[in-house]
Structure 1
Amino acid sequence: MSESESESEGAELSRRLAGVSLAAPASPLEDDDLLREILLRLPPQPSSLPRASAVCKGWRGLVTDPKFARSFSAHHRKPPLLGFFEIRAAGLVFTPVMDSPDRIPPERFDLGRCSGIKVNDAYSCRHGRVIFIDWQRFELLVCAPITGELSRVAIPPEVERGSLNVAVLCAAGDQGHVHGGCHSSPFKIVSLCLGRKDSQLLARVYSSQTGIWGDLISAAAPSRLFSDLTPETLVCNSLYWLSTGVDVVKFDLDDYSLTVIKGPPVTYDHGRQIIKAEDGDVGFNIFLYPECHMWRRDINCDHGVHTWVLWKTIQMHTILGLPQVDEKRTNFLLGYCEDTNVIFMYVRPNVYMLQLNSMQSKRLNANLESVGHYRPFTSFYTPDTTIAGGSNGAEISHNT
């Protein structure tokens, strides 16, 4: 081939290549599988997924997919603490604990709008649900604040008016299920009350899947009277309530057994709370400002018996943000979040939130003269399940 022919052929090839549109490599954000992995790693704060869903139709399709919601929960494992429910003169009020843009508007979780009645107290708050009582209709009301769904359940016949402790929890048994987005999952209720002669504790378990209460379970009552509205704590797969004294009532959710165990060798009867110890076992917190005493229930390997061991003592006034000791200060515990290991405490006139693992504190309210029980609420907050105000949720009646 002559040199002129070679140049002519090269020029022709150049003209052909100039007319070819070379496709640019796809952006990582256009690869659904890769994008899904990126979005899964967004922080589990309320604003994360709603903001992502607002980017474009494709992103919204990904984050509103129920499979993505399950994967998001499984990746983060523990839901964030959104706030707490507290009884006030106007009824039960939700107070958010996060700052903007993750702060949930209090009216979004208005249980009064959800139930149609004035809610006077929350008896239990766990796995995205809150349970309270309608004494006029003698019913338990189970509400999922995020979706607004409300279930009514008849109170067991052995319960006398005004005397009842109840706990609500998710009943999903799927392998890999992570609590925190359980709004559509089945639930259980554990009721606990004193028998009519105050010598026995009586318990039952309700299943939303069957719509009925199970058999009556009984145990000898604690040496001192069992108090109502004592907040229960879920540790491993057992529920724990405090009696008026230092005895602890344990309900095992595996074999449905009810037992009373002795608490730590202390006499202080206020500012007590069952907590999770660092090793996952049950712990006992005693708050007497300026000190906080934490006990852990250990097993004696030589004798095979459980004993309470003083685990740690914390000088509260040394924690950043808490005031110095003052003998005139009123102080007591307000509530405990088992998911995040956070306690709420009142040191007059302020309310503090303290994370027991990191010992980081945050002041929530100032100059309060009175406060009520706090029921912490944790949940993943995904755009496919949230509704405004909780007033459009479905109501389900279980009166068997």
Structure 2
Amino acid sequence: MEDDYAAPHLPTDIMYKIPAHISDPASLARLASSCKFWRDLIKDPTFLDRLRRQHRDHAFTPSLLLGFFLQDKKHHIDKTRCLAPSFVPISELSRFVGSKSARNAIEPLSLETFIPGLGASLNFYKPFASQDNFLVLCRQLKVDNGQDMKDVLCVCNPLTGETFEIPHHRYVPPNHYVLFVTNDVDSYGRVSQSFQLTAIFWLKKAKSFVCVCYSSKTGTWTRAEGEPELMPDLYLVSCSAAASGGVIHWLCGTSEQMSLTHVATLHIENMGLSYLELPPEAKRIKIPVLANSADGGILLLFMQGLEMSLWKHTGALGSDSSSSWVLSEKIDMRSSLPQRVATLGSRAKVRLEMFGGKSGVVVLRVIGEGLFLFSLSDGSMREIDSVTKDYFLCPYEIDWLSCLAITNLVVDGSLSQDVERKKAQDRWRTLMGMNLATNGAS
């Protein structure tokens, strides 16, 4: 075997500059996996700090979306057929170009592919939230002679193979679960992750929020102090929410105008509410979607006919002014959609399902055609499903720091036994699909 420390035959100053020009996490992972020289350089705290500042100004990074965890809703209803959630890598999706598409022949991967031993223990669970490598699964059970329901929760990390059983909370199933992940660095520079799972209850009559939070550090649920009330005359559009950095954004409208008017932001730490007025163009739209960008900003995406508009909020949170929104991009979707849909024009039924603010990918449901994945970064379209099945669908979007952390785990000998290191490598390569070379450093 060649010396893993062997460095490329280039001037030292040039070698140190090369990684600084790479912002794509999959490319950095490939470089870090090639030899110890690059790995040690990329793991250096000075490089990571510089890369973090660079990434905050970076645009969409499509490779952050590794794929989708999904479950067929019909199988979920049929208790005799419902299996654990499965995974479809982005690298396996057929590229769709206008009226032509190669049909998918995908056999979704079982969750047991990444976390051996789960098997039937996660049957009947549905995926419904993910953040920076972690995936939240939920199953509802009837209690008290079938009169009430309770949630059974599980959080897992398919990249590391970890599974966390979450204790029951004593509340009825909430309106939302939101996952917040924190990268923790100890005094030795080692990166680990902790998470907070927040259950949001929306009290319609009181128009107020109640939150209970589970911390992976304490292993307990606690109820947040305070029950903030929504501003008078506003109603909540609960189907469109975006969460990041301890805040959750919802779209709101007024009953008087019967249209969307604001983004309401709930700050979990102090249970405070702030508001942001929507741009006038968005107030006439029925179903826009929200997302958080890589730099922590708010993104708003909506369709008008077959034209997609992307807006970004550039001001501080709490500045209630529509002038702080900037139109980032307008995209004509006619050349990307199936020809039959494009010819219908404004009569076509295209619905925005999900929007990944870091990766810049949008899930579209085209009525009569199926689910499609559109990339705002390069304009490509991929087919998720060519039929009209209905899924519990959860995008698996990772963070670039987490990406490098698991790369270090795979290749630097942190795992004491070779067999465990090999398992970690296999999980990593399976999830990344074609985004990562199969020959890593040993």
Normalised to the residue count of structure 1, the TM-score between the two structures is: 0.66
Change beyond 3 A, Cα 1:82–1:298: closer
* Structure possessing the higher radius of gyration over alpha carbons: 1
Maintained 8 Å contact 1:92/1:111: no
Distance 1:217 1:92 in 2: 36
CA distance in 2, matches of 1:376, 1:30: 41
1:103-122 equivalences in 2 (<5 Å): 106-107=109-110, 108-109=113-114, 113=118, 116-122=121-127
Residues 242, 248 of structure 2: 8 Å contact kept: yes
Aligned partner (choices 232, 250, 261) of residue 265 of structure 2: 250
Shift of 1:286: 1.7
Q: How far off is 1:202 after superposition? A: 1.1
Whether the 8 Å CA contact 2:290–2:301 is kept in 1: the answer is yes
Of 197, 202, 209, 1:194 maps to 202
Pick from 213, 218, 226 the counterpart of residue 227 of structure 2: 218
- Of 182, 196, 201, the match for 1:171: 182
Please state whether the residue corresponding to 1:98 is helix, strand or coil. Answer: helix
8 A Cα contact 2:199 2:213, kept in partner: yes
CA distance in 2, matches of 1:65, 1:149: 26
Farther off after superposition, 36-45 or 304-313: 36-45
Q: Which amino acid aligns with 2:196?
A: K
Alignment check: 8 A CA contact 2:277 2:322 kept: no
Select which of 64, 67, 75 maps to 1:83. Answer: 67
Partner of 1:354: 374
Aligned pairs (5 A) from 1:310-349 = 311=327, 314-318=330-334, 320=336, 323=339, 324-326=342-344, 329-348=348-367, 349=369
Distance 1:342 1:72, change over 3 A: farther
The letter of the residue matching 1:106 is L
Letter in 2 for 1:367: S
Offset, 1:344? 1.5
* Aligned-partner residue type, residue 375 of structure 2: Q
Residue of structure 2 in register with 1:281 after alignment: 297
Deviates more, 1:68-77 or 1:147-156: 68-77
Using the alignment, how far apart are the partners of 1:164 and 1:111 within structure 2? 32
Matches within 5 A, 1:382-393: 382=407, 383=410, 386=424
SS at match of 2:164: strand
Match of 2:322 among 294, 307, 316: 307
CA contact 1:274–1:284 (8 Å) conserved in 2: yes
Q: Is contact 1:122-1:132 (8 Å) kept?
A: yes
- What is the number of residues matched between the two proteins? 343
Alignment match of 1:131 (pick from 125, 128, 136):
136
**How far apart are 1:105 and its partner, in Å?**
7.5
The aligned residue for residue 44 of structure 1 is 25
Name the counterpart of 2:248: 239
What is the alpha-carbon distance in structure 2 between the residues aligned to residue 331 and residue 198 of structure 1? 35
Change (3 A) 1:47 1:347: farther
The change in CA–CA distance for 1:150 and 1:27 in structure 2 (over 3 A counts) is: closer
Q: Identify if the C-alpha distance between structure 1 residues 353 and 104 changes in structure 2 by more than 3 Å, giving closer, same or farther.
A: same
Alignment-mate amino acid for residue 205 of structure 1: C
- CA positional deviation for 1:81: 1.6
Aligned counterparts of 1:375 and 1:44: Cα–Cα separation in 2: 21
Amino acid at match of 1:124: A
**For 2:7, which of 8, 19, 28 is the aligned residue?**
28
Summarize the Cα distance change of 1:317–1:188 in structure 2 as closer, same or farther, 3 Å threshold. same
Paired with 1:62 and 1:114, the residues of 2 have a C-alpha distance of: 40
- Are the structure 2 counterparts of residues 69 and 174 from structure 1 closer, same or farther at C-alpha, using a change threshold of 3 Å? same
Q: Does 1:204 align with 2:215?
A: no
Structure with greater proportional helix content: 2
Contact 1:82 1:104 in 2 (8 A): no
The aligned counterpart of 2:256 is none
Q: Deviations over 1:305-354 (max 9, x none)?
A: 42264725634335556642425543212212122122111224143323
Q: What secondary structure is seen at the aligned counterpart in 2 of 1:45?
A: helix
Tell me which residue corresponds to 2:285.
268
The answer to whether the 8 Å contact 2:41/2:47 transfers is: no
Is the contact made by 1:195 and 1:201 (CA closer than 8 Å) also made in structure 2? yes
Counterpart secondary structure, 1:284 = strand
Structure 2 residue corresponding to 1:147, chosen from 152, 160, 174: 160
| Other-structure match for 1:21 | none
CA distance in 1, matches of 2:89, 2:347: 29
Partner Cα separation in structure 2 for residue 274 and residue 307 of structure 1 = 15
Question: What secondary structure does 2:118 align onto?
Answer: helix
Percent identical pairs in the alignment equals 14
Query: In structure 1, what is the Cα distance between the partners aligned to 2:338 and 2:382?
Result: 8
Structure 2 CA distance, aligned partners of 1:134 and 1:122? 9
Residue identity opposite 1:307 in structure 2: S
RMSD of aligned residue pairs (Cα, Å): 4.8
Question: How far apart are 1:284 and its partner, in Å?
Answer: 2.0
2 CA distance for matches of 1:196 and 1:305? 24
Q: Is the 8 A contact 1:147 1:387 kept in 2?
A: no
Letter of the 1:185 partner, please give it. Q
